[in-house]
Amino acid sequence: MRTSGLDLRRLIFVIVLLLLPVAVSPSSVASSISASRPAEQWVLQQARNGKPANLKDKFTRETDRVVGASFLKQVLTSDPARTGIRAYGIRISHARVLGELDLTNEEIPYYVTLDDCFFDEDLTLVNAHFKKSLHLERSVFECFADLRYLVIDGDLEARGVQFDLADLEPLDKDGKLRPMSFEGMKVGGPLFLSRAVFKRPVNFYAAQIGGNFVADDEAHFESDAVFELMKIGARAVFDKAKFDGRTSFYSVKVAENFDASEAYFNDTKHGVIFEGMSVDAALFSGSHFKGPARFYGMTASSSLDLSGVDFYKVTEDMATDDQAKNDKITAFVNFQGMAIKGSFFLRRSIFNRGVSFYGTSVDREFSADAAQFNDPQSGVFFNNLKTDTIGLSGAVFRGPISLSGVTYREVDRDSLDNLVSVIRQANYDAGAYFELEAYYRTHGAISQADDVYIEQRRRERRGLWFPARWSEALFVDLPLGYGRHIWRLIVPSAILIGIGCYVFRSKELMEPQAPEYACRHYSRFLYSLGLFLPIVDLRSDVWLPKHERRAARRYLPFHIIAGWVLVTLLVGALTGILK
């Protein structure tokens, strides 16, 4: 009997355990959430009914729209199976959140909307996990926000959000504002920050966004902004965004386009960094760079478009840190070491400071048509730029130009004349002339290729010592065109042979050098030619002008010497010794 009684008690205990979840109603669990304010009670009621809680519509007085941070935490972290909150989630708008909202390491199972809300104490979401999406549109955070390592499985929508400064904003040990941190954050979908305002520094270091990252439509970063090592699964959009502080996109990886058209990068001291960034295509059309800009090592699978961009002049007083003062390259627009698989456009862009393209490769077209390079001192460095097609139509250069190591296969049809002018204006580099000469020869323009070679040799000659420069001009350039205009020797040679035919025109005006030669046939042409040609023996020594023909005898050695000189130059040109 004891055993049967014990088994009965056990059976009753098991049945009670199985029925306990049924016995606990959602209303009883909901009642365990502390909702002392009318606004809180109404929010909870609306959430259970699957409706949004717009406190502005419910409560006319702003003081009645207050919800406590502790209440909000209880609601957000509660179990939906016990609270009865519908799948629509928790949708609150126009609330004033009282107190610090700390969701560190918490899991939030709901779709959460906190639009048009006001937070005046710190928001901490470190390591929090939102299983759905989080919306914070047009909300104002007059406090410090820490979202490090926040995980959102859905999207994060914060259009028009404002991160303001508190009245008594605490500073860090260096006397600087604490940065708002999204470091290491992971968002499964897109992140929207259109029209957002960040009045404190912001840090997105190593954040991962599964969809688009959108901070366009005059989103304003009023202090430093760090986006380093971010990974963006779709597009990054910063159209018309404003960056007032130091900005860095170092090693950001964007699966699709990076679009910062008509954006403003206003920091004059440190500027903006895109070093090592990897994108499909990057668009900066119409943007403004008021400080240093560094694109070093950027890679683009498609194109890089900086058409119509304005790079302001950087003066020495703008660079206040010691490194900037000692390193002139900080004032440059740095396009060094980039790898662009498509085209690189700089059309109509204005550069009021030095530019360097050192070591950049462009697989398709490099186009700087109608661009202006206005820095009279630093100029432009194209050193080792490699591209398939180069276009410089209408480009203006007002400072030094370096073209060392530039290579290309094609020249834009409208750019050829300007390219020739740029090479002439640039610091002398034989390679720049060789590349242009090779281009002309490849396209069958042999005459133009020869002209380029001659011009290259003439510029090279300017660096020689005066006697060497004079002799090269006299013996190699003037008669031979550096081996490319050999026909210049044919005309004077023919003229000299013709003069010889006239001077030695008749056998009666000549006298044989031995009596037995008097009966030999005499040809004025062969006589003149024999004197003119060195080495070749046409027996011209058999005859001499008569003694009374003094002018002819004086002309004879001139004819011989001129022939030796002209023929020697001709042989040297034909053999390649003189060129």
- What pLDDT is stored for residue 354 in this prediction? 92
- What pLDDT is stored for residue 568 in this prediction? 80
> E strands within 320-398?
333-334, 339-340, 344-345, 350-351, 355-356, 361-367, 372-373, 380-381, 386-391, 396-397
- What pLDDT is stored for residue 211 in this prediction? 97
Report residue 501 CA to chain centroid gap.
70
Return the HEC string of 16-61: HHHHHHHHCCHHHHHCCCCCCCHHHHHHHHHHHCCCCEEHHHHCCC
Tokens of residue 171, six digits: 């500073």
Distance CA 228, CA 226 (A): 6
- What pLDDT is stored for residue 331 in this prediction? 60
**DSSP 3-state helix, strand, coil percentages of the chain (rounded to 5)?**
30, 20, 45
- What pLDDT is stored for residue 32 in this prediction? 67
- What pLDDT is stored for residue 326 in this prediction? 44
> E strands within 492-540?
510-512
Quick one: which of 374, 366, 370, 360 has its CA closest to 391?
366
**Along the 579 residues of the chain, how does pLDDT read in single tens digits?**
445 555 655 555 545 444 444 444 444 444 467 788 999 999 999 998 989 999 999 999 999 999 999 999 999 999 888 888 877 789 999 999 999 999 999 999 999 999 999 998 999 999 999 999 999 999 999 888 999 999 999 999 999 999 987 655 566 666 677 788 999 999 999 999 999 999 999 999 999 999 999 999 999 999 999 999 999 999 999 999 999 999 999 999 999 999 999 999 999 989 999 999 999 999 999 999 999 999 999 999 999 999 999 998 765 544 444 444 444 444 689 999 999 999 999 999 999 999 999 999 999 999 999 999 999 988 999 999 999 999 999 999 999 999 999 999 999 988 999 999 999 999 999 999 999 999 999 999 998 998 888 888 878 787 777 776 677 666 676 677 777 777 777 888 898 889 989 998 888 888 888 887 778 888 888 888 888 888 777 766 788 888 888 898 899 889 889 888 888 877 877 777 766
In our burial notation (b when 16+ CB lie closer than 10 A, e otherwise), range 299-316 reads: bbebbbbbbbbbbbebee
| pLDDT 10s digits, 105-133 | 999 999 999 999 999 899 999 999 999 99
> E strands within 272-326?
272-273, 278-279, 281-283, 288-289, 293-294, 299-300, 304-305, 310-311
Tokens of residue 436, six digits: 């242009």
Q: What are the φ and ψ backbone dihedral angles of 537, each rounded to 5 degrees?
A: -105, 105
Burial of 4 (0-12, 13-18, 19+ CB in 10 A): exposed
Tokens of residue 279, six digits: 């994108």
- What pLDDT is stored for residue 171 in this prediction? 60
Distance CA 563, CA 270 (A): 70
- What pLDDT is stored for residue 1 in this prediction? 45
Q: Where are the domains of the chain?
A: 43-154, 487-575
Tokens of residue 145, six digits: 């926000």
Contacts of 39 (CB under 8 A, 6+ apart): 55, 58, 59, 64, 65, 66, 67, 95
Contact at 8 Å (CB) between 386 and 366? no
Q: Over the Cα atoms of the chain, what is R_g?
A: 42
- What pLDDT is stored for residue 83 in this prediction? 80
Contacts of 137 (CB under 8 A, 6+ apart): 115, 116, 157, 158, 159, 160, 161
- What pLDDT is stored for residue 242 in this prediction? 97
